[in-house]
Amino acid sequence: MKIRERAAKLIDVKSIVTLSLTGVYAYMNIAGLDVPETFKTIYIMIIGFYFGTQATKIKEEK
């Protein structure tokens, strides 16, 4: 897969949401801020959904 194709696939809504939440979570941890439990729960659910759909796409392509 070419780099342009990968970059194009990254620019969809679920990828943008996942990357932005990852950035916020990383910032909060690095800055030493207390991460609310609800944010952790939502973050884990979104990450699980993102990687679950990615695994499904890979299986379908094969």
**pLDDT for res 20:** 92
Q: Amino acid identity of 11?
A: I
**pLDDT for res 36:** 94
Model confidence at 1, pLDDT cuts 50, 70, 90, reads low
What is the DSSP code (8-state) at residue 35?
P
Mean local confidence (pLDDT), 55-60 = 71
**pLDDT for res 10:** 67
Q: Could you give the CA distance from residue 34 to residue 18 in angstroms, rounded to a whole number?
A: 20
The string of pLDDT tens digits covering residues 2-57 is 777 777 776 777 788 888 999 999 999 999 999 999 999 999 998 888 888 777 77
Q: Could you give the CA distance from residue 35 to residue 31 in angstroms, rounded to a whole number?
A: 10
Q: Could you give the CA distance from residue 34 to residue 15 in angstroms, rounded to a whole number?
A: 25
Q: Any idea which residue has 């909060």 for tokens?
A: 28
